Amino acid sequence: MRPNKKTTAPSRGASDRHEAVPGFVPIPAAGSVEAMFHEISTGGERGLDRLSSSPRHGRYDDLWQLALADPTTGLVNQVLLLDRLTQALKRSRRHGGDVLVCHIDLTNFGEIYDELGYISADEVLAEVCRRLTTLLRSEDTIGRVGRSEIVAVMAIDGEVAIAVMAQRLTSALERPVLVVGHEVHVSSSLGVAVAEDGESAEHLMVRADGAADSGTSFTERYMHHHG
């Protein structure tokens, strides 16, 4: 009898083994994600948003959502927010106009969480974010940057327009939120910062955060800085 011939199947990579599994996102080769993000983030005014028009985007939808979106509110997270703010500052330097950052802190969110539980607290947060989003234009950006912190970035011109927008945001936050039969009142602080010449996105975000913590009214802060 002739001995059985042993055949060796060609080795398969991790992505080959899982390619038939529904919902599996293939893991790209080492370094390809870094190269892709470098190409996107250094490629003009759209920054990371160029990924949405890339032919490679479909393969990474799930990873993209995990990396750059907040799952509770559906808003962008701090990574994408900072990128969009950077692009807005570049456009402002080229074409003129002001870039406004509004930092909103829901100051009693911890109490809402303790009293109603995390599910209801997240519903309150999501409703607040929906309200704020409806006040913005499609070219503006709003993101969640902390447990109870939301930041809006917008291109806007003139002191009157800035004051009107701040008032609209404040009014939206003052209306109670109805959740599980409870009328929940949300306390908040609003900090506003307008970009200065040559200012980085990170520094502008810090200034808006500091304005929210200062305890003075928007009008006092703005007029003190620009008066």
Q: How many CB atoms lie within 10 A of CB 6?
A: 5
Full DSSP string of 155-222: EE-SHHHHHHHHHHHHHHHHS-EEETTEEEPPPEEEEEEEPPTT--HHHHHHHHHHHHHS-S-HHHHH
The two three-digit tokens of residue 47, written as one number: 């920054």
Taking only the tens place, the pLDDT of each residue in 19-69 is: 443 333 343 444 444 454 555 445 444 556 655 555 555 555 666 666 788
Task: Note whether 145 and 77 are within 8 A (CB).
Answer: yes
Whole-model pTM: value is: 0.71
Residue 28 phi, psi (nearest 5): -70, 160
Taking only the tens place, the pLDDT of each residue in 88-113 is: 999 999 998 899 999 999 999 999 99
pLDDT at 59 (0 to 100)? 55
Taking only the tens place, the pLDDT of each residue in 187-198 is: 999 999 999 999
What percent of the chain shows pLDDT beyond 90?
51
